[in-house]
Amino acid sequence: MAELGTMRVKTGLAEMLKGGVIMDVTTADQAQIAEEAGAVAVMALERVPADIRAQGGVARMADPTKIREIQEAVTIPVMAKARIGHFVEAQILEALEVDYIDESEVLTPADEEHHIDKWRFTVPFVCGCRDLGEAFRRLSEGAAMIRTKGEAGTGDIVNAVRHMRAVFGHVRRLGALREDELFAEAKRLQAPYELVRWVAENGRLPVVTFTAGGIATPADAALCMQLGADGVFVGSGIFKSGNPAERAKAIVEATTHFEDAEILARVSQGLGDAMSGLSAAALAPEQLLETRGW
């Protein structure tokens, strides 16, 4: 008997994406450019984060017509975003047979208290986090993949670095705790003890952990990989730059050869203008996307 939607099948797809780049796309043409450049998946969106930030208004799930066009255009997995807590958007995305749902703070949250109960779905979910406690809470709700948050749509890597350091550093510190100290730590993290203990013993999260938010150059992607990410999401950084096709290829290559400075130097040259970007530190607290979710 074939069994659908098991946790192993859900987390397994993320395992296959490791070492790869997932690119935000808003059209079938962009999706093909991403696939040709070697993206491992695309994220189908109505607007990239930089435009959501610039134009304001409520950001919602993409139009199903757009998602279908993108699914028709490529053979790689197609992901799509649902608003935090908006389980009906997630039901629609599952009916469209997207390959992964991103319950994302980049869209306007639909619920101020509850995230989606992800165990109820056959399609797997990826969720963002700023620290280890947030990652544990998403995992206990059924997330099958984690991405550390950055500040989406800025082209500024600083917040992504802060959150990777917070998550991966905390994982390493858990490994140094005595068993009786893990109980207190689980309580502090508001996380299930079994999960905390597994992470302490294995030195990593139980699911694949990508990073996202603010990646604009090959060097940014390699920095994330060297800090411990399993792969990267690139949002506005590609299609808001001067030469998307070349930049996409360069970021893919940098993600594979993240420890080879000679290759990084070569792929970094002559890419034209990176997205102009915003300094994340200059944003007012109410302009931050990363603080959505809890």
Partner 1 sequence: MVERALIGILAVQGDVREHAAMLQRLGADVVEVRKREHLESLDGLVIPGGESTAIGRLIRLYGIEETLRGFERPVLGTCAGMILLARDALDGVPGQPLLGAADIVVRRNGYGRQVQSFEADLDMGGGPPLRGVFIRAPRVVHAGPDVEVLAELDGDPVLLRDGRVVVAAFHPELAGDPRVHELFLECVAEHRARRARTVG
Kindly report the backbone phi and psi dihedral angles of residue 158, in degrees, each rounded to the nearest multiple of 5, phi listed first. -60, -40
CB of 74 vs partner 1, minimal distance in Å: 8
What span, in angstroms and rounded, lies between the C-alpha atoms of 253 and 267?
7
Transcribe 178-201 into DSSP letters.
Answer: -HHHHHHHHHHHT--HHHHHHHHH
Query: Which residue in 81, 118, 149, 240 is the catalytic one?
Result: 81
Q: Which is nearer to partner 1, 155 or 244 (CB)?
A: 244
CB of 216 vs partner 1, minimal distance in Å: 21
| Separation of CA 88 from chain center | 21
Residues 6+ apart with CB under 8 A from 122: 4, 5, 94
Residues 6+ apart with CB under 8 A from 145: 11, 14, 100, 124, 125, 126, 127, 207, 208, 209, 210
**Separation in Å, CA 107 to CA 53, 125, 184, 216, 268:** 10, 15, 34, 20, 31
Which residues contribute to the site for partner 1 (CB under 8 A)?
1-6, 8-9, 12-13, 15-20, 35-41, 75-77, 94, 97-100, 122-124, 249, 252-253, 256-257, 260
Q: Which is nearer to partner 1, 122 or 226 (CB)?
A: 122
125-129 and 145-148 strand pairing = parallel
CB of 132 vs partner 1, minimal distance in Å: 21
CB of 189 vs partner 1, minimal distance in Å: 25
- Give, for 127, the enclosing helix (H) or strand (E): strand 125-129
Q: Which amino acid is at 73?
A: A
Q: Which is nearer to partner 1, 185 or 253 (CB)?
A: 253
Q: Is 81 a catalytic residue?
A: yes
What span, in angstroms and rounded, lies between the C-alpha atoms of 142 and 29?
33
**Maximum C-alpha span of the chain:** 56
CB of 11 vs partner 1, minimal distance in Å: 9
CB of 2 vs partner 1, minimal distance in Å: 4
Give the 3-state secondary structure of residue 209.
strand
CB contact at 8 A, 129 and 168:
no
Which residue numbers are catalytic?
Answer: 81
